[in-house]
Structure 1
Amino acid sequence: MMERAMEQLNVQLNRLTRSLRRARTVELPEDNETAVYTLMPMVMADQHRSVSELLLNSKFDVNYAFGRVKRSLLHIAANCGSVECLVLLLKRGANPNYQDISGCTPLHLAARNGQKKCMGRLLEYNADVNICNNEGLTAIHWLAVNGRTELLHDLVQHVTNVDVEDAMGQTALHVACQNGHKTTVLCLLDSGADINRPNVSGATPLYFACSHGQRDTAQILLSRGAKYLPDKNGVTPLDLCVQGGYGETCEVLIQHHGRLFQTLIQMTQNDDIKENMLRQVLEHVSQQSELHYQKILTSLAEVATTNGHKLLSLSSNYEAQMKSLLRIVRIFCHVFRLGPSSPNNGNDMGYNGNKTPKSQVLKPLELLWHSLDEWLVLISTELQKSRSDPAHPGGADITSLLLKQREADSSVTSIATVTGYGNGTILPPPGQPTLDPEDVIVTSETYGDGEDVISMTANRLSAVIQAFYMCCSCQMPQGMTSPRFIEFVCKHDEVLKCFVTRNPKIIFNHFHFLLECPELMSRFMHIIKAQPFKDRCEWFYEHLLAGQPDSDMVHRPVNENDILLIHRESIFRSSCEVVSKSSNQKLKQGIAVRFHGEEGMGQGVVREWFDILSNEIINPDYALFTQSADGTTFQPNSNSSVNPDHLNYFRFAGQILGLALYHRQLVNIYFTRSFYKHILGIPVNYQDVASIDPEYAKNLQWILDNDISDLGLELTFSVETDVFGAMEEVPLKPGGISILVTQDNKAEYVQLVTELRMTRAIQPQINAFLQGFHTFIPPSLIQLFDEYELELLLSGMPEIDVTDWNRNTEYTSGYDLDEPVIKWFWEVVQSLTQEERVLLLQFVTGSSRVPTKFTIAAVPYIANLLPTSSTCINMLKLPEYPSQEVLRDRLLVALHCGSYGYTMA
């Protein structure tokens, strides 16, 4: 049995041997095209024995070039690092300098891929290291690109010219510097590379190092004597560093060429350089030492001061100088905040008398602020003089005022004189020689009246005020307004209001402090709200979207995680869940909504989502809002806590309304006047009670209108309130249960009752809603509108059917449909614009929607009497005007002046 088994094994081995022998001795096809594709996989795998046997008795041309790039098998071996096959091919006569269609030799490919052994073998067989491909690249270019220093050391020994240029005039040193290969750079320099050799564009190796922020490479070049040279377009290495935000490389340049520091500072005035890149560079350089920090800030302050005085020159280009000043100041403030003693204790550092290092860098700016102050004082003087003496041509004597101001304070040099140049004046910067008063020629034609002086100077001075505010703010903790700046605004209140009245856009162009400081905003609010609603809407969105990239409402998500996937059957809860998990920043950039199980996406789906959510927010099942007395508006439900998640839901409702407003999407919800006031931070009053309880509002009105001293009402500062079906007595103020309401304190009682019913009872709900709303809409911006305008912002301008409105109107107190005044009224309504009709509805009903019942009551006519209204019963009290013209005039005055009368029927 053993012998038989051994015999079978020998048979199998013989078969295997014959099979292997036959495989090795397969002959190559006679044509090179077929043969090369047989050999190529073996070469790539470096199966040199198989390749050797196949080539042994064949007539195959080892230099045969195949494929689209016309490479030989030697190229393949060099590219793949198949050393044994490469040697075999070389021995068989393969040409080491054969170039493919791109001009690359096997040595190029071996160098590009770092195949050290292949390179060595190719050199043994006389591969030419100086051959260039079609782009002018040699083998050392490839090594330099990839930083193969260990191979470069071997190769440069065979190179006749280490500075051979490619088609762009770039040497190996250029590309090594660009890619930051330090050891390669050193090797090339040690091998005699020209350190200052320019390419065809005039770019040197240092230029290339700086273009990619290669700090260490730049350091090597500079330490070896590299020259600081621009290219043929005048672009310098420093320009490249700043454009790329390469702070470390900039620092190296400045270390070797100190004069570049001032060049860097001057770059802050170049609008072609991105501001964020400049910030990065200056931020890095300033952090190297306290000395650097102080030097940068001082220099920036000096440049800002010079630019500020140029801006105050009426002959300068306003737009250019304004942008330059604010740009420099923004950069200054950014660097200032990075210092070792950042403002964290509320001190107005630099302006409170402390001789801190930081206060020193602000000194140059004091000259500019003093110039600003003097200008405003002079304009104020002119305004006062014009008012006190109408015959005085305001502004004509402004030059003498400037000179008198200078005499009054001999230390002031920032405004020394004013020179008339026909269409403007020049305020020389500090230290400039002044003119003799006799040389100053100013006429009333030059300046016009005081108002013209304001029109010429308002924008310029406002831009400097903005710069002043920025500098003051950077010295304060986040969210605090500088006391010095508040004092400044209060001091120049009259002039600043005059500026804003003449050109309201100044508020949003320069008076950003109003949006950040409610105390100051209140001083200007009446001027702001007097501007057209449309203009304020534009300002609102301009600042709301400031800093956001342009985007469509429909956001094209990068991945599925950016899509709000909503379940229709539980749209409120699922929307609440996905919105809470989403990034607010991404939601601001755009929204992508998809309903579960549906393919549709786009703006239509987003619109549908907002529409459905509008209805769900007021769905009684969630107990969030209750219907008001008028049946069309909604108010937060004081008993919403029956829903355990009510505050989270209120926060979500606020987010949805804020998000809709942010993206200009209208919602199909109308709230009570009082709730719009809560959103705006406007205090409610007793008239707002009518929306939830008209009879109670009438009672409050009666108390205010009548003497209650001897009526025996026995009211106290407390009320009974229904809390989940149980009546509880709630004090309106501490000890209120025992404090009687009298004629003297009844107004306080009415206000406290109003606050309890309209605010205190729903304060947690209001707070939660506002927390969500303010996620997308800052309080400082939304306060630009009143409660009527907020309704239009959120729900849009409704289409008003005047015929339907007329049909649902009743008349009382002597009026009927045939009265001339009534006919005139409807003719006037027909002639009104859509916006004016909305104002009329809001005036009478408190809402922009046509009510189910509208009443017009007669009032005896008195000259100049305006119409009034009782919003709780949708009643317009229309005087019996003598003509349609008078009616129209009085009605429009009432609407546009915000005369929202409220007289209880």
Structure 2
Amino acid sequence: MERAMEQLNRLTRSLRRARTVELPDDNETAVYTLMPMVMADQHRSVSELLSNSKFNVNYAFGRVKRSLLHIAANCGSVECLVLLLKKGANPNYQDISGCTPLHLAARNGQKKCMSKLLEYSADVNICNNEGLTAIHWLAVNGRTELLHDLVQHVSNVDVEDAMGQTALHVACQNGHKTTVQCLLDSGADINRPNVSGATPLYFACSHGQRDTAQILLMRGAKYLPDKNGVTPLDLCVQGGYGETCEVLIQHHPRLFQTIIQMTQNEDLRENMLRQVLEHLSQQSESQYLKILTSLAEVATTNGHKLLSLSSNYEAQMKSLLRIVRIFCHVFRIGPSSPNNGNDMGYNGNKTPRSQVFKPLELLWHSLDEWLVLIATELMKNKRDSTNITSILLKQKGPEQQDATPTPSFDTEGTESGEKLSIDAKDSKAYDAAGKQEACADCQDVISMTANRLSAVIQAFYICCSCQMPQGMTSPRFIEFVCKHDDVLKCFVNRNPKIIFDHFHFLLECPELMSRFMHIIKAQPFKDRCEWFYEHLHLGQPDSDMVHRPVNENDILLVHRDSIFRSSCEVVSKANCAKLKQGIAVRFHGEEGMGQGVVREWFDILSSEIVNPDYALFTQSADGTTFQPNSNSSVNPDHLNYFRFAGQILGLALNHRQLVNIYFTRSFYKHILGIPVNYQDVASIDPEYAKNLQWILDNDISDLGLELTFSVETDVFGAMEEVPLKPGGASILVTQENKAEYVQLVTELRMTRAIQPQINAFLQGFHMFIPPSLIQLFDEYELELLLSGMPEIDVNDWLKNTEYTSGYERGDQVIQWFWDVVEELTQEERVLLLQFVTGSSRVPHGGFAHIMGGSGLQNFTIAAVPYTPNLLPTSSTCINMLKLPEYPSKEILKDRLLVALHCGSYGYTMA
């Protein structure tokens, strides 16, 4: 305090004398007086202060122990720097990090300061604590003009830092071309390795510095790996640096085949390989064709290895599919030319581009042979298709143990002359009588080959698809599937997961999916649900937006008082791909945001969709389900709203959210693309359905009904006659055609009358749910997926509840709580569930499958200290009920009901 007062008095006296402040006597105080002046290069003031002072110009201050000369060099205060040097400042004094003033001047490109320091014998060879010299700093920042001046004073341009890196290494890493040239002209070792064995070329390639790599290679840089065997090309491919790879190949042509072989390395990211090969293929038509031909040859080799049962299935399968995907990606891109995209080799045109598929034809031929062989044996062994093992396993006696390690058989008519083989380790010894008898643990041929052949079939499909316009299935592939229908169905029957592992074409091609649908739907509902979501989210990033930063523009901001219209507006404008990844919803004027709010949004919207005010849906005869309203056009925006309703249900299904709405069976059929039948009419008109049933059950030949293929229907209160088919008014219904009549009437009532509404709904629904995937389910299963279980099972709820913050299952308050839940009505239980979880429905599988903000999250009850009139609260993101420790069951029930009826909407984040 006394020192501060003395300094203040000194400042006052100085101001009164209208002259510079006098320096304090001690260095610590004086240096902080001088420092701002040095930083501003106020050399006259600094000179006057130092003239009558005993201040030590080499005094080191602060945490890093720098002198005023360091400050001047760092800030470029050249006048003050010269003044300090004349006063005896040490140009080679090192701060706590080992940096001299010359280091700092070089780091910041202070040319004049560097020149003055050199005049006063600054040592350019001093290393800081990391081994960096002044030229390292210049190289890092590409200060070539300063480097020219400095290298004249450097005794060793290749001085190494602590990692063995020279200035050339760091210049190459940062891509400073002129700096690299300057260092090379000054004698830098172009092939000098650092402690890891990395050369300057290695550093240039690690950061994709194409021009720098070009300079090094033109000056004779060697292509050398580091001590771990990682080469410059490896680094280029890992980073996707296609231009740098191009430079390497220009100087070392052998590296072209190395890149092609890299496609088999599963440790390398596929998208980086695509990026590199895409760039290389753009250079010329000949380069493009060379790349494709080479990839096709590698794919063919891998495919034949896969078909040889002695190979590693997982490794060969991944390798084949990886190469084929890359091949097709490059094929679609092609070099930039006027013909790009117009010469895709459709229907096998013998163009140069279609010729790149020729090596693969050998693989497809082998695939065809395998499938024909298995089909032949299936026909011979219809009673038990598992007995065909013997046809591919030859008897092997003791004398053959060493002589024939790989039993094989020739395929007649094989152009390639190849042999389809099975490794001996997959076979078993046979009895002396020569009968081939497989041991209990010996797999049959289908088991051994199904996955392998399926992987090659997938590769075949990918290759066929890339030759077709987007969205079209190759006629050649359709013909292939039809030809081998029995074998493929056998594969799927044995292992339906093959559909998702390899037979993606079934999910993408409705014309093929129908051939296998009966097999698929025979699988357990749980398995199909897993497959559905696995394929639906295939390739998508983390879909939970709550756990990653959300762009403000991606938040769906809706108004609670006009939730249907405002939601329709924001969803229609939102990015569909982003909505698939995750949903963030905020109500206007409210802070809450998270999975609880999202669930509330879906819950309210599902009620609004069937709000009579919008005239979109009408209640069915059973009073609990809804059907599109045939007169919905009374609302001029009805088709836009139907599309929005489809989007909401599609989004809900995509994100495993439940909706508080049940539709008629016929509408679920429409979503699934399943034809309706006369029994579905019962949901909207039970009496009419009975009449249709009566017609089918009785002979109407002599009843004189005089029905025609024309019916009257209500259109906005007026009756109109509608023909069921062209000329229907003049076609009588007979015993022979009555089934057709019933079906057409059904289609009119259940489909034709609401076709525009159905189409609009499906347009929105299919934005998020592909038609092929939803076909995995029937109408009953779709209802479970969309709306969950219709009833709340209290015992299941209790069994799947957790307790925290002091509560345990046996506590009195917890027992009261469950007694109260038993006493609640079904509607009140729904309110309670909604209050805590944000959803009024229980998912398929019960309470054990309730979702929280980060996945499965059980219903949880947490203890809260009791205060009078305190209501229960909830954290919907984690499905937690915060239940006060009420003193009695009556108070608990009263407070809980108040919370449910007054606080079930407008959740906040707790």
TM-score, normalized by the shorter chain, greater than 0.5: yes
Per-residue Cα deviation, 1:807-844 (whole angstroms, up to 9, x for no partner): xxxxxxxxxxxxxxxxxxxxxxxxxxx9999xxxxxxx
Structure 1 residues 301 and 125: CA distance shift in structure 2, 3 A: same
Structure 1 residues 392 and 97: CA distance shift in structure 2, 3 A: closer
> Does 115-124 or 165-174 show the bigger shift?
115-124
Matches of 1:677 and 1:235 in 2, distance apart? 58
The corresponding residue for 1:476 is: 468
Structure 1 residues 577 and 393: CA distance shift in structure 2, 3 A: closer
SS at match of 2:263: helix
CA deviation after TM superposition for structure 1 residue 553, in Å? 6.8
Matches of 2:527 and 2:371 in 1, distance apart? 27
Contact 2:408/2:422 (CA < 8 Å) preserved in 1?
no
Question: Counterpart amino acid of 2:388?
Answer: G
Alignment partner of 2:580 out of 578, 588, 594: 588
| Identical columns (%) | 87
Superposition map of 1:333-412 within 5 A: 333-339=328-334, 349=346, 352=348, 354-387=349-382, 393-398=387-392, 406=410, 408-412=412-416
Contact 1:722/1:728 (CA < 8 Å) preserved in 2?
yes
Contact 2:682/2:689 (CA < 8 Å) preserved in 1?
yes
Per-residue Cα deviation, 1:502-542 (whole angstroms, up to 9, x for no partner): 11111110000001111111110000000011000000000
Question: Counterpart amino acid of 1:500?
Answer: V
Per-residue Cα deviation, 1:844-880 (whole angstroms, up to 9, x for no partner): xxxxxxxxxxxxxxxxxxxxxxxxxxxxxxxxxxxxx
The corresponding residue for 1:96 is: 91
The corresponding residue for 2:241 is: 246
Matches of 1:705 and 1:40 in 2, distance apart? 106
Superposition map of 1:566-585 within 5 A: 566-585=558-577
CA deviation after TM superposition for structure 1 residue 361, in Å? 1.5
Superposition map of 1:541-560 within 5 A: 541-552=533-544, 554=546, 556-560=548-552
The corresponding residue for 2:267 is: 272
Question: Counterpart amino acid of 1:411?
Answer: E
Matches of 1:62 and 1:623 in 2, distance apart? 88
CA deviation after TM superposition for structure 1 residue 744, in Å? 3.0
Per-residue Cα deviation, 1:610-643 (whole angstroms, up to 9, x for no partner): 2111111111111111000111110011111122
Alignment partner of 1:324 out of 311, 319, 323: 319
Matches of 1:386 and 1:683 in 2, distance apart? 37
Matches of 1:738 and 1:336 in 2, distance apart? 58
* TM-score (structure 2 length as normaliser): 0.81
Structure 1 residues 419 and 774: CA distance shift in structure 2, 3 A: closer
Per-residue Cα deviation, 1:184-213 (whole angstroms, up to 9, x for no partner): 000000000000000000000000000000
Question: Counterpart amino acid of 2:361?
Answer: E
> Does 209-218 or 53-62 show the bigger shift?
53-62
The corresponding residue for 2:676 is: 684
The corresponding residue for 1:529 is: 521
CA deviation after TM superposition for structure 1 residue 332, in Å? 0.8
Per-residue Cα deviation, 1:462-496 (whole angstroms, up to 9, x for no partner): 01100111111111111111111111111110011
The corresponding residue for 2:60 is: 65
The corresponding residue for 1:116 is: 111
SS at match of 1:288: coil
Structure 1 residues 74 and 422: CA distance shift in structure 2, 3 A: closer
Matches of 1:227 and 1:560 in 2, distance apart? 51
The corresponding residue for 1:154 is: 149
SS at match of 1:78: helix
Q: Is residue 2:426 matched to residue 1:423? A: yes
Q: Is residue 2:183 matched to residue 1:188? A: yes
Alignment partner of 1:207 out of 199, 202, 206: 202
Matches of 1:600 and 1:740 in 2, distance apart? 64
Matches of 2:151 and 2:794 in 1, distance apart? 92
Structure 1 residues 448 and 369: CA distance shift in structure 2, 3 A: farther
Matches of 1:483 and 1:651 in 2, distance apart? 33
CA deviation after TM superposition for structure 1 residue 457, in Å? 0.7
Question: Counterpart amino acid of 1:739?
Answer: I
Contact 1:632/1:670 (CA < 8 Å) preserved in 2?
yes
Contact 2:555/2:586 (CA < 8 Å) preserved in 1?
yes
Matches of 2:40 and 2:230 in 1, distance apart? 50
Question: Counterpart amino acid of 2:603?
Answer: D
Matches of 1:694 and 1:679 in 2, distance apart? 22
Contact 2:163/2:195 (CA < 8 Å) preserved in 1?
yes
Question: Counterpart amino acid of 1:211?
Answer: S
Question: Counterpart amino acid of 1:578?
Answer: V
Matches of 2:25 and 2:563 in 1, distance apart? 74
Matches of 1:452 and 1:543 in 2, distance apart? 29
Structure 1 residues 596 and 678: CA distance shift in structure 2, 3 A: same
Matches of 2:410 and 2:447 in 1, distance apart? 24
SS at match of 1:444: coil
SS at match of 1:765: helix
> Does 89-98 or 565-574 show the bigger shift?
565-574
Alignment partner of 1:52 out of 47, 55, 60: 47
SS at match of 1:77: helix
Root-mean-square deviation (CA, aligned residues, Å) is 2.7
Alignment partner of 1:315 out of 297, 310, 314: 310
The structure with more radius of gyration: 1
Superposition map of 1:250-265 within 5 A: 250-265=245-260
> Does 697-706 or 613-622 show the bigger shift?
697-706
Structure 1 alignment gaps of length 5 or more: 1-17, 426-440, 804-833, 838-905
Q: Is residue 2:765 matched to residue 1:776? A: no
CA deviation after TM superposition for structure 1 residue 274, in Å? 0.5
SS at match of 2:662: coil
Matches of 1:261 and 1:473 in 2, distance apart? 27
SS at match of 2:64: coil
Structure 1 residues 140 and 367: CA distance shift in structure 2, 3 A: same
Structure 1 residues 96 and 104: CA distance shift in structure 2, 3 A: same
Structure 2 alignment gaps of length 5 or more: 1-12, 396-405, 796-842, 847-910
Contact 2:615/2:629 (CA < 8 Å) preserved in 1?
yes
